[in-house]
Amino acid sequence: MSLPILNSDIILEIIKNSKDKSGSLFNFLFVNKYFSKVAVSVLWENPFKYRNLLSRNSQNYSIIQTYINFFNEEECNEINQIFKNINEDFKFNNEQEKSLRFHYGKYLKEFNFQVTRKAIDSWYSIFKEKNNIKNGSSRYNIEECIMKSIMRQCQKLDSLNWGICLVNEGLLKIMQDKIKDVKYFTINHYYSNNYDKSIFGYLKNHCKNISCLTIDDYHDICGDKLTEEFISFIELQNGLNEFILDHAKEEYEYKDLITSTLELQANNLTKVILNGVDFSDISFDYIDKCINLKVLGLRYNKGLRFDDMDLYTSFKNLKILDLSYNEWSSEVTTLIIKKAGKSLTSLTIGENNIKQAINDNTLIALTNSCPNIRSLSISKTSSENIKMVLSYLKDLKLVTLQLFQIEKKGTVMKSEDLLNYIENEKSLFKLGLGKNDKYWDYYNERRINFEKFLKKHNVRLIAYKPKNNNVL
């Protein structure tokens, strides 16, 4: 009996399901030519994603050199001229193209300017050393030449990470036909060469189908003029589903950008994450009116006042809620939990100041208003409050429970409430413990017995790292 033949679609699904395991992806290269071709297309969607930390510079060199091997004649002449300006006797050799099996550049789907720029820097440093080039004054020209070629070689981008003031007209012109179907757009302020212009004037006529907008903020990226252009760009999007603002600098405000985005895309947004925002002048009504919201994350925020919130509105479809490290009253936290209601299946909650968010009122609201909760994560609280949380377990049917206490003492291994819950409810599948739990400090008979108990009841124990929030 002959073996079944796998067509390319099935092979693609097999390989895509291994995308998070780089070792498995590389193994597919050696199965046969069909698996190899599909594996190459997946690996080169974002070749920098699968670099080994210990050999990152050498891998950067290989990746960039591969792109250079596919320079066209114009690009070869341009880079030759750049090197000629550095050293008249040096000739850039690019004769390896014939030995390459695939046209790797065409598979690029995810372009991150900052990552690519650092990779080019690594390539140039190694290249200079190999060729005994002393003068490095033309680094920017070389970077621009390679960047343009990478963009020319790719066919279509799905994801773009770009600097708000990075206005390189030559590069943006090449990009125009590549970004029509971009779904994931991250904007930041890592690198700028023009503080008077933004990229939105260039992108607004070519990039209208973004589904996820992320503002990765380490500086003030929005003056009044840029804010207006940014809002105009957001208004043109046909259906923005996800809005993520990671706001690191308290001295900068995003009121107009946040309120306009929430208002303009209220019917489309299903995921909103706002980190480090002052809500003193931002009404929670803007979030309330996002009627199709399924995921809401509010971390490191302040300024929300209970008296300013509508007591009678609720979310109809909210599944996942994160309320960690906020500086507002427990009444605000309790009200948001009540608004989530029966549709909520996952809650992460944690405190900047202890007893600011987690108390009996919060937990009563959770058990009464959210009967379908299946995942509960306490991202930061006292060991005393952990005991309080565990006392409410009997009212929940959790599949996942994760706990992070601030003190380096105490352990949930001793909790009768937890042990009885696992014994009687039999729903818990995953238990996460933070680094301060005494469980991790030593190996003794109590810990051995606890592990046996968990194994008997099919509960998986993991290390809980709340700052690395993968739920959202």
- Domain shared by 144 and 69, yes or no: yes
**The token pair that represents 344 in the structure block:** 């909520």
Sequence-separated (6 or more) residues with CB below 8 Å from residue 216: 161, 186, 187, 188, 246
- Domain shared by 68 and 148, yes or no: yes
- pLDDT at position 470: 58
Sequence-separated (6 or more) residues with CB below 8 Å from residue 160: 111, 179, 182, 184, 185, 186, 207
Please name the residue ranges forming H helices in 236-321.
255-264, 285-288
CA distances for 427 relative to 319, 321, 397, 434, angstroms: 19, 21, 6, 21
Sequence-separated (6 or more) residues with CB below 8 Å from residue 115: 48, 161
Is 88 part of any domain? yes
- Domain shared by 109 and 20, yes or no: no
- Domain shared by 79 and 128, yes or no: yes
- Domain shared by 66 and 126, yes or no: yes
* Dist CA 260 CA 266 (whole Å): 10
Is 459 part of any domain? no
- pLDDT at position 214: 94
| Beta pairing partners, 326 | 351
- Domain shared by 92 and 27, yes or no: no
Is 135 part of any domain? yes
**The token pair that represents 355 in the structure block:** 């007893």
Residue located via tokens 């739990």: 437
Boundary-marking domain end, from 115, 137, 155 = 155
- Domain shared by 60 and 24, yes or no: no
Is 149 part of any domain? yes
Q: How many domains does the chain have?
A: 2
- Domain shared by 84 and 32, yes or no: no
Buried b (16+ CB within 10 A) or exposed e, 311-327: eeeebeebbbbbbbbbe
In percent, how much of the chain has pLDDT > 70?
81
Is 132 part of any domain? yes
Burial class (CB in 10 A: 0-12, 13-18, 19+), 204: middle
- Domain shared by 144 and 72, yes or no: yes
User: What domain range is 114 assigned to?
Assistant: 56-155
Q: What is the pLDDT of residues 325-370, one digit of tens each?
A: 999 999 999 999 999 999 999 999 998 776 678 889 999 999 999 9
* Dist CA 454 CA 419 (whole Å): 9
Helix axes 139-153, 56-68, angle to 10 degrees: 70
* Dist CA 446 CA 151 (whole Å): 58
Provide the Cα torsion 326, 395, 287, 237; round to 10°.
110
Residue located via tokens 């929670």: 284
Query: Residue 320, SS3?
Result: strand
Q: What is the pLDDT of residues 43-57, one digit of tens each?
A: 888 999 877 655 778
- Domain shared by 60 and 149, yes or no: yes
Q: Are 104 and 77 in contact (CB under 8 A)?
A: no
Boundary-marking domain end, from 155, 178, 200 = 155
Which letter does DSSP use for residue 302 in this model? B
User: Mind listing the pLDDT tens digit of every residue in the chain (472 residues)?
Assistant: 454 566 667 666 666 666 655 556 666 665 666 777 777 878 888 999 877 655 778 889 999 999 999 999 899 888 888 877 766 666 666 655 456 677 889 999 999 998 999 999 999 988 888 877 776 667 788 899 999 999 999 999 999 998 876 778 888 888 888 999 999 999 886 555 555 566 787 888 889 999 999 988 655 555 667 788 888 999 999 999 999 998 755 555 688 889 999 999 999 999 999 998 999 999 999 999 999 999 999 999 999 999 999 999 999 999 999 999 999 999 999 999 999 999 999 999 998 776 678 889 999 999 999 999 999 999 988 888 888 999 999 889 999 999 999 888 788 898 999 999 999 988 999 999 999 998 998 788 889 999 999 999 999 999 999 976 655 6
Reported as type and span, the H/E element at residue 149 is: helix 139-153
Residue 110 has phi, psi (to 5 degrees) of -120, 115
Q: What angle do CA 139, 143, 144 make, to 5 degrees?
A: 120
Is 189 part of any domain? no
* Dist CA 213 CA 161 (whole Å): 10
Whole-prediction pTM: 0.88
Is 20 part of any domain? yes
Is 124 part of any domain? yes
Q: What angle do CA 299, 301, 306 make, to 5 degrees?
A: 115
Boundary-marking domain end, from 99, 125, 155 = 155
- Domain shared by 137 and 60, yes or no: yes
Residue located via tokens 């990470």: 161
- Domain shared by 67 and 151, yes or no: yes
